[in-house]
Structure 1
Amino acid sequence: MRADTESKQRMASKPGLHVVMFPFFAFGHISPFVQLSNKLSSHGVRVSFFSAAGNVDRILSMLDATNLTTQIVPLSIPAVDGLPQGLESTADMPQSTSALLLVALDLMKPQIDTLLLELNPDFVFFDFAQQWLPAMAAEQGIKTIFYSVFTAISTAFLTVPSRVVDWKKGVTVEELKAPPSGFPKTAITGVRTFEAQDFMFLFNNFHTGTTGFHRVIRALQSCTAILVKACTEMEAPYIDYVKSQFDKPILLAGPVVPEPRPGELEERWAKWLDQFPSRSVIYCSFGSETFLTDDQIKELTLGLELTGLPFFLVLNFPADSSKALKMALPEGFLERVNGKGIAHTGWVQQQQILAHSSVGCYLCHAGFSSVIEALVNDCQLVMLPQKGDQYMNSKLVSLDLKAGVEINRRDEDGHFGRHDVYKAVQSVMVDVDSEPGKLMTANQKKWKEFLLNNNIQNQFTADLVREMKAMASENI
């Protein structure tokens, strides 16, 4: 599908940088690309945002009202055996099916080639799945920037050339438990068995004859520059290590703090929260695409009950959410916590809830946007990572930054019990006057001030735009 001609001409008539944003079709990837688009737009950069047609409305809702320089270019998803028609993001399908979106992406090369020829941007910001894009763009004289939507520690630990010694052999779970060669000496000295087992998905063959790891490495090695959603204030050792692994410019987007969502908190939730003392409520959510097992839900909910604190629990499921929620909760749970606990499924105004004065703790999966939301809203952080980069984010926050705690889990399979949940919440909500509690509170205050300093955050974007302008004028 070609970009709208009138829109294209309107965009082309404006001076300044023009970039294409092309994330993978998962909202965990799309959202950071949209947030970056909003930041770049505020500095006059024109953006053409590529995504599947079925994602357009949701992307539009995520654009800032002041973002007047971003156009969305809908893409047609080719037919792929096993990939249901009309499902165009990983949010709409089970994990076993979502890998087929990689097959669809590879079939979209002619479509993307035509669009880039029409739009002729200065840069294409692309994702891990499009390792073929740098060569295509280079033929048209377009520079490419690999935008890593993950923290620098995740890239440094998992997706650097030093991670695999023998490419034909691959890697084992035991090897993945240890850092790669040359990894910086920090508080992170390795990962647990169940975390390494999860990381093995990078080395699966995703129906395309290549692994996710090979896609990422090829993309990182062939692009013009690498952009990391990170800053030296939080991740200097890991940024330096990534620089040492790839012989090309490493740009920094900063933490990309999201703008507050407009609108007041829904009355029913505001009224319920208003009845509790300041900083006493636990808000617990794992995002729209992270699903807990029935056993995890049981231990989590019983752990929340053990704390004796009021809580607002949001659980999502891949199937019929309302029915799944009722089936997953322990027998008699809702009756026992009536008036003091809420169990909800589906979308809620998360930013407004976290900003409410009665909310004092955020128990989450350690997605880095969630971490930032906790810090800027004075919420204690209790982390229960479930997959991928969440494990590394949790280690960064709890071990390096000392700004949150992770729920204790069993090494071999990641099992946690209700008492593990209770102890973690207790440590941040009750034991705040202990020495570790005081240190954590001080660190949280420091990072809140840093993240809410508009001058600092705007400077990240200003520096990025300045570096892009310099790169655009170079013959590289």
Structure 2
Amino acid sequence: MEFNGGHRLHVVMFPFFAFGHISPFVQLSKKLSLHGVQISFFSALGNVNRIKSMLHSDSAPTTTQVIPLTLPPVEGLPPGLESTSDLSRAQSELLNLALDLMQPQISSLLSQLKPHFVLFDFAQDWLPPLASQLGIKTVFYSIFVALSTSYLTVPARLPRSTAYLARPSAIEDLKKPPPGFPETSIKSVKTFEARGFLYMFKSFYSGASVYDRVLRGLNGCDVILAKTCREMEGPYVDYVTQQFKKPVLLVGPVVPEPSSEPLEGRWASWLGQFEPKSVIYCSFGSEAFLSDEQVKELLLGLDLTGLPFFVVLNFPANTDISAELKRALPEGFLEKVKHKAVIHAGWVQQEQILAHQSVGCYVFHAGFSSVVEAIVNDCQLVMLPVRGDQLLNAKLVSGDLKAGVEVNRRDVDGYFGKDDIKDAVGRVMADIDKEPAKSIRGNHKKWKEFLQNSEIQTKFVSDLVKEMEAMAGLHTV
């Protein structure tokens, strides 16, 4: 357990038990390792092997040790299932309660490890006072874009309560930015998006809401660290700093290293039969799911583009995938598109597929890590956000950065049809020398060059390390 190098910066990484949260903490750990930072990575035992695999790097040995945590029993939470990917959404809320019961275990580990900092996530709002008693500084690591924090989880959104949410005005309030919000392209959101944001303010199993946890964590921590940069989100960074009145450090977009693993032969062979940049790749991640009706309209819309497409569909845990696919696919669709399309359920090598020369467009849920991944691989962005921060990511990319398009949807219920999919793809893939495709592609190229500039991206991390070393009272040679 002993892992304190004395004069070397030592941080604990403690993400929420969802791989959408774990992955950004792993990516940051790999970047910090290249600068000699010692890292102790906390996660539930069931996640450890996958995290170790994610931490593996061909470019440099890791300075990270993964420390397994014992998840306390919580009624309704199946034993051995320790990440949200294995649980229903209702069960996933129970992970918050399990985390609340882990305070003695975390206190004991921190007392042994004596790190300089603990980087924690939204659910561990109890961590700042606990770590402070041990003389350890806390960093709230926001894996979401600063726009998301600015719009949803700043003190200016107060008051929020269960009673408040029952009022008809709640959705109307959430359609508008909070007081003092900066002047940018984001003026409002649609009704269905605001309704989705209500989830942030709901209490489950008598526990604190996500909003309450985030606000307590941001107010209680010593430092806020954001996975963004001023070039992309300057006004929102300033607003967050103003709202919380404490240091806001930026680590940049944290561009992942290219994988050295080759693409699986069957997919390489299939993609290889098409012209460069002609294939649409479509995926919504492992934990964002479309309804049967949405799947039908999506597939019919992709077919209408006339381009080849590769669609990855995922379904909630413990569902019959064959039955789900049969119900979701339009009748006779597989036979109709068999020469120009792949419909696949389950995991694929997304990074390698996006990097393939034949792939030129990415239709996806607007997870920001996926945004970065697509831009560096020169794939045009067509965003169809499903929930949460994805809804704001899409507005940042299409509105402020002007580097992609969002599928048009109906205001009240978010409905989209096949023609909306076809039109969105056409705006970035058809007539590329005409507007709007020409401007979008120009901005896309600018951000690709920025994200691929290794000097800029390395400086984000090296500057962060220097600032943290200064805060910890360490002197570098």
Measure how far apart 1:308 and its partner are.
1.1
Counterpart of 2:449 in structure 1 is 449
Identity over aligned residues, as a percent? 62
- Paired with 1:208 and 1:54, the residues of 2 have a C-alpha distance of 26
Counterpart of 1:393 in structure 2 is 393
Measure how far apart 1:86 and its partner are.
0.8
Cα distance, 1:292–1:166 mapped onto 2, change above 3 Å: closer
5 Å matches for 1:163-178?
A: 163-165=157-159, 170=164, 172-178=170-176
What secondary structure is seen at the aligned counterpart in 2 of 1:435? coil
Show structure 2 runs of 5+ residues with no match. none
Counterpart of 1:47 in structure 2 is 39
- Paired with 2:159 and 2:127, the residues of 1 have a C-alpha distance of 26
Q: Which amino acid aligns with 2:114?
A: N
5 Å matches for 1:181-330?
A: 181-318=179-316, 319-330=319-330
Structure 2 counterpart of 1:84, from 71, 78, 84 = 78
> Contact 1:103 / 1:208 at 8 angstroms: preserved in 2?
no
Moved more, 416-425 or 320-329: 320-329
Counterpart of 1:70 in structure 2 is 64
Large movers: runs of 4+ above 6 Å: none
Counterpart of 1:359 in structure 2 is 359
Q: Which amino acid aligns with 1:34?
A: V
Aligned length, in residue pairs: 466
Counterpart of 1:435 in structure 2 is 435
> Contact 2:74 / 2:97 at 8 angstroms: preserved in 1?
yes
Q: Which amino acid aligns with 1:189?
A: K
Show structure 1 runs of 5+ residues with no match. 1-7
TM-score by length of 1: 0.96
- Paired with 2:280 and 2:35, the residues of 1 have a C-alpha distance of 37
After superposition, what is the alpha-carbon deviation per residue over 1:188-239, rounded to whole angstroms, capped at 9, x for unaligned?
A: 0011111111110111112243211111101000100000111000000100
Counterpart of 1:120 in structure 2 is 114
The question of 1:417 aligning with 2:417 is answered yes
- Paired with 1:67 and 1:221, the residues of 2 have a C-alpha distance of 35
Counterpart of 1:96 in structure 2 is 90
RMSD: 1.3
Measure how far apart 1:272 and its partner are.
0.6
What secondary structure is seen at the aligned counterpart in 2 of 1:72? strand
Measure how far apart 1:150 and its partner are.
0.1
> Contact 1:102 / 1:208 at 8 angstroms: preserved in 2?
no
> Contact 2:429 / 2:437 at 8 angstroms: preserved in 1?
no
What secondary structure is seen at the aligned counterpart in 2 of 1:422? helix
Structure 1 counterpart of 2:126, from 103, 127, 132 = 132
Measure how far apart 1:434 and its partner are.
1.7
> Contact 2:15 / 2:120 at 8 angstroms: preserved in 1?
yes
- Paired with 2:421 and 2:441, the residues of 1 have a C-alpha distance of 20
After superposition, what is the alpha-carbon deviation per residue over 1:93-114, rounded to whole angstroms, capped at 9, x for unaligned?
A: 1101110001101011111110
Counterpart of 1:335 in structure 2 is 335
Counterpart of 1:374 in structure 2 is 374
What secondary structure is seen at the aligned counterpart in 1 of 2:436? helix
> Contact 2:295 / 2:328 at 8 angstroms: preserved in 1?
yes
After superposition, what is the alpha-carbon deviation per residue over 1:17-72, rounded to whole angstroms, capped at 9, x for unaligned?
A: 11000000011110000000001111110000000000011111111322421000
Counterpart of 1:5 in structure 2 is none
After superposition, what is the alpha-carbon deviation per residue over 1:269-290, rounded to whole angstroms, capped at 9, x for unaligned?
A: 1111111111110000001111
Counterpart of 2:178 in structure 1 is 180
TM-score by length of 2: 0.96
What secondary structure is seen at the aligned counterpart in 2 of 1:325? helix
Measure how far apart 1:262 and its partner are.
2.1
After superposition, what is the alpha-carbon deviation per residue over 1:158-205, rounded to whole angstroms, capped at 9, x for unaligned?
A: 000001246685451110100000000111001111111111011111
- Paired with 1:388 and 1:167, the residues of 2 have a C-alpha distance of 19
